[in-house]
Structure 1
């Protein structure tokens, strides 16, 4: 299916800077680099660069400073699903530092990908594929588990809950539950246990991840363990979804909105523990308040 290229009013000396999370697992970083390469091939009219918040070069601060030094305008686009500490604190702080260091450059920050209909379309398509792979594709006897990273930020977890609810409302599955790989609860094993007690005969696990990494690899090991624990239940687990058409289109929409001056809504920072900690200590967010808890993908 051919999709029209979205017009973006960027200039030759504009830089679009992708911000990826970064992973301890090299294959996850390689996938993000591959995404950047595919996006450059798809959109040769854009000058696209890539940086990582942690675990992989180039780093966010250095890449921002370099882009601001060599560009008239920098369009910063987070390749991140949920708004937790990285999106709410680290990226905006890096943007502000680059603005101070290079006031001649205009640096604009796009919102993260967020819970939205394009991401829902990916999840629905992945769920349909998993159902077709099962021997008994009956949604009334098949439980669904949307499995995400987990965060100490309630807004990020709330986005996950919203996606699970949307998935249930637009399908025929009676059980669409939410689970997390860390930080918060419930965990995958507990959710599957509840679904089995309710009589499901099949379970589809939908990882809510853009790219591979240590947590995605762990998910597939957990599903194998569950197969042995519940031999009477059939399991299907889908893969991460960073290269889907909708992700490219969402990133292009972010760039188009920035270039056109379309205002974005404020980040949902009410109750954000990162911002409260930063305020109480009189300084910005630092890794000391997040990475001790968060397990990177």
Structure 2
């Protein structure tokens, strides 16, 4: 008779649940961090059978690396789900590095990493609804004389800026507006003021500013101040500015889908650059950011993501290996 197997050490909770770790960016303005906590609480209420935890990349506790290690030590499987719109330095470098560190420290735990929310049809649906609502507040809701400015957080990563450019193009193709332009709050160009100037010169009598932000924070506050300034600068133009959109049903549905895809082993649920050899090279060269954000970057952009200036190189290389659901240009080809 075969001897009974010695039971393995149980490193999960009593219910054997996965730990779902939401990763938020974090803000210097605590109101933004509170909203992410409120989102997490609301998601828990929608999914009472799931064990959902929260951490932040910077500016707020609990910090990513510590929270991920704690989750990995207390579960058989951890599902890391970034609550982030665009894949810039944080998503491509810091989150995967934290995952690799936790895997090395806790080899008994399976740690899976979901992609960021990305430019996709559910986010487009949110933007279109926000745009319709803004148009309803205008005196003359005529799309042919109303310009649209999709305004987001700038990045030194061209892929992140490209995702926003795709959303601006989709808004143009899915609607009747003759002008849908892209602007950034920092790091890269064009800025809001320059885009508004161009639209006014082209005859737009009304302009809708669509912030591409999930939650409030210092940048959202700055956007509303900028729009107020533009109202005074262009009294002949009617402006409408929408709010951020982190609590829309599509965002909850996207987070649900990320979890279900990881559990089902859907191929493209793997982060495109999880395990990317170039990131390992970058880390060896001293460009990694797996450490906590207590250091001084020595450069001030006045942005919450100011330190992304170090990631401009991150994906200008040609990949010899396949990335699921993420196409990189070949060497010598345009991005």
Q: Shift of the alpha carbon at 1:13?
A: 2.5
Contact persistence 1:183–1:293 (CA under 8 A): no
Q: CA RMSD in A?
A: 2.2
The answer to whether the 8 Å contact 2:258/2:269 transfers is no
1:88 equivalenced with 2:92 (yes/no) = yes
- Structure 2 residue aligned with 1:296: 304
Q: CA deviation at 1:293?
A: 6.5
Tell me, in whole angstroms, the C-alpha distance in 2 between the residues paired with 1:289 and 1:262.
39
CA distance in 1 between counterparts of 2:297 and 2:214 reads: 20
Normalised to the residue count of structure 1, the TM-score between the two structures is 0.90
256-265 or 163-172: which moved more? 256-265
**Partner of 2:80: helix, strand, or coil?**
strand
Shift of residue 246, structure 1, vs aligned partner = 0.2
Name the SS for the 1:241 alignment partner: coil
Among 73, 79, 92, the alignment partner of 2:77 is 73
Query: Where in structure 2 are the equivalents of 1:21-60 lying within 5 Å?
Result: 21-60=25-64
Contact persistence 2:85–2:119 (CA under 8 A) = yes
Q: 1:32 to 1:203 in 2, by over 3 A?
A: same
**Does residue 260 of structure 2 align to residue 252 of structure 1?**
no
Q: 2:171: which partner in 1?
A: 167
1:6 maps to what in 2? none
* Aligned length in residues: 284
Counterpart among 135, 147, 158 of residue 162 in structure 2: 158
Separation in 2 of the partners of 1:283 and 1:106? Answer: 27
1:155–1:268 CA contact under 8 A, matched in 2: no
Distance 1:105 1:42, change over 3 A: same
Find the aligned partners of 1:191 and 1:31 in 2 and give their Cα distance.
30
TM superposition shift of 1:290: 7.8
Give the structure 1 partner of residue 330 of structure 2: none
Tell me how far 1:268 sits from its aligned partner.
6.3
Alignment partners' CA distance in 2, 1:277 and 1:238: 41
Are residues 190 and 277 of structure 1, via their aligned partners in 2, closer, same or farther at CA, if it must alter by over 3 Å? farther
Q: Does 1:141 align with 2:145?
A: yes
Partner of 1:128: 132
Deviations 1:213-264 (A, max 9, x none): 0000000000000000000000000000000000000000000000111112
**CA displacement, residues 40-95 of structure 1 (integer Å, 9 cap, x when unaligned):** 00000110000000000000001000000111100000000000000000000000
- Flag structure 1 segments of 5+ consecutive residues without an equivalent: 1-10
Query: Where is the helix percentage greater, Structure 1 or Structure 2?
Result: 1
What pairs with 1:181-220 in structure 2 (closer than 5 Å)? 181-220=185-224
TM-score (norm 2): 0.80
Q: Which runs of 5+ in 2 are unaligned?
A: 1-14, 306-335
CA distance in structure 2 between the aligned counterparts of 1:282 and 1:185, rounded to whole angstroms: 28
Partner residue in 2 for 1:239: 243
Larger radius of gyration: 2
1:111 equivalent in structure 2? 115
